[in-house]
């Protein structure tokens, strides 16, 4: 895919950059998305580019919450589509969720390109519904384009996974009474703080990690899943991530 040996110390990070660049070239990711990636990388560097144990715990809780959900949805923006298209489809299949293209900078062209991109990554084969084009519902309290969702998708979902979300929309979804799993590398971001389950990790690691936990928990009873969710301390998870960053122990 890229001409960098796997032994290169920054191999993963270079691969991730390449995917984002490619997303921009294909009209999937915005130039704003490049800036968001840069911000994310800075936090990832400080976290040691690894999944810290509190974030692994949060990923397991997220898996339990998704398995308990009646109508789970996974929100996909231009960065997520570029970075983890196949992994997002795998997660949706593992927890029986819909995926919904939901953009901060919504245009018809980008909506269609991202839906097509997800289909190319096997949604039909996996039996996963791709939503976002109906645009027949609104998130209250946001301006026109950012508020647009599908009634049968995020509109009526009880649990929503929002990777790399902006703070306003994360807060507005939480205000609708939805449980939110937020994946964000910045523990101080408003979206992480609005989350029922914040996962402070790179989306590249977090999405397959939730899927792994979901497979592991697939035989668990409802009571076990509920106990896993109940025992979770969101503020504790945010604090642990901030401590990891401040401690300066790079991986």
Q: Which residues of 67-94 are buried (b: 16+ CB within 10 A; e: fewer)?
A: bbbebbbbbbbbbbbbbbbebbbbbbbb
Residue 36 in contact with ligand PTJ, rule: CB under 6 A: yes
Contact in structure between 154 and 160 (CB atoms under 8 Å):
yes
Main-chain dihedrals φ then ψ at residue 180, nearest 5 degrees: -120, 130
Q: Which residue, among 238, 128, 227, has the nearest Cα to 185 in the 3D structure?
A: 238
Q: Which part of the chain contacts ligand PTJ (CB under 6 A), choosing from 7-15, 54-62, 119-127, 182-190?
A: 182-190
Instruction: Quote the least distance from Cβ 225 to ligand PTJ, whole Å.
Output: 25
Main-chain dihedrals φ then ψ at residue 181, nearest 5 degrees: -100, 115
Among 67, 94, 97, 185, binds ligand PTJ (CB under 6 A): 185
Site string for ligand PTJ, 102-131 (x = CB under 6 A): -xxx--------------------------
Which 127-166 positions form the footprint of ligand PTJ (CB under 6 A)? 164, 166
Distance CA 16, CA 13 (A): 5
Residue 99 in contact with ligand PTJ, rule: CB under 6 A: no
Number of residues that bind ligand PTJ (CB under 6 A): 25
Residue 183 in contact with ligand PTJ, rule: CB under 6 A: yes
Q: Which part of the chain contacts ligand PTJ (CB under 6 A), choosing from 49-57, 101-109, 149-157, 227-235?
A: 101-109
Residue 203 in contact with ligand PTJ, rule: CB under 6 A: yes
Residue 30 in contact with ligand PTJ, rule: CB under 6 A: yes
Q: Which residue has the tokens 């519902």?
A: 137
Q: Which residue, among 93, 87, 102, 88, has the nearest Cα to 67 in the 3D structure?
A: 93
Instruction: Give the CA angle between residues 119, 122, 123 to the nearest 5°.
Output: 65
Q: Which is nearer to ligand PTJ, 105 or 218 (CB)?
A: 105
Residue 193 in contact with ligand PTJ, rule: CB under 6 A: no
Distance CA 175, CA 185 (A): 22
Residue 209 in contact with ligand PTJ, rule: CB under 6 A: no
Main-chain dihedrals φ then ψ at residue 211, nearest 5 degrees: -60, -45
- Provide the binding-site residues for ligand PTJ, judged by CB under 6 A: 30, 32-33, 36-37, 39-40, 43, 77-79, 83, 103-105, 164, 166, 183-186, 189, 202-204
* Residue ranges of the binding site: 17, 39, 184-186, 190-191, 202-203
């Amino acid at each position: 895919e890229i001409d960098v040996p796997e032994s290169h110390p920054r191999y993963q990070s270079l691969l991730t950059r390449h995917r984002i660049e490619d997303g921009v070239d294909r009209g999937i990711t915005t130039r704003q998305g490049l800036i968001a990636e840069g911000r994310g990388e800075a936090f990832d560097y400080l976290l040691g580019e690894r999944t810290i144990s509190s974030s692994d715990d949060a990923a397991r809780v997220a898996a339990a919450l998704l398995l308990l959900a009646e109508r789970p949805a996974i929100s996909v923006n231009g960065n997520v589509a570029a970075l983890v298209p196949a992994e997002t489809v795998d997660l949706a299949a593992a927890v029986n969720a819909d995926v919904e293209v939901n953009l901060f900078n919504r245009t018809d062209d980008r909506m269609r390109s991202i839906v097509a991109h997800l289909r190319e990554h096997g949604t039909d084969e996996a039996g996963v519904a791709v939503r976002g084009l109906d645009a027949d519902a609104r998130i209250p309290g946001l301006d026109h384009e950012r508020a647009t969702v599908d009634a049968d998708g995020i509109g009526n979902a009880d649990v929503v996974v929002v990777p790399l979300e902006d703070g306003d929309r994360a807060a507005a979804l939480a205000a609708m009474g939805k449980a939110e799993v937020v994946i964000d590398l910045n523990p101080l971001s408003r979206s992480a703080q609005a989350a029922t389950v914040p996962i402070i990790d790179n989306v590249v690691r977090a999405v397959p990690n939730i899927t792994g936990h979901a497979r592991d928990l697939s035989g668990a009873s409802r009571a076990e899943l509920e106990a896993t969710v109940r025992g979770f301390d969101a503020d504790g998870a945010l604090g642990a991530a901030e401590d990891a960053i401040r401690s300066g122990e790079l991986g």
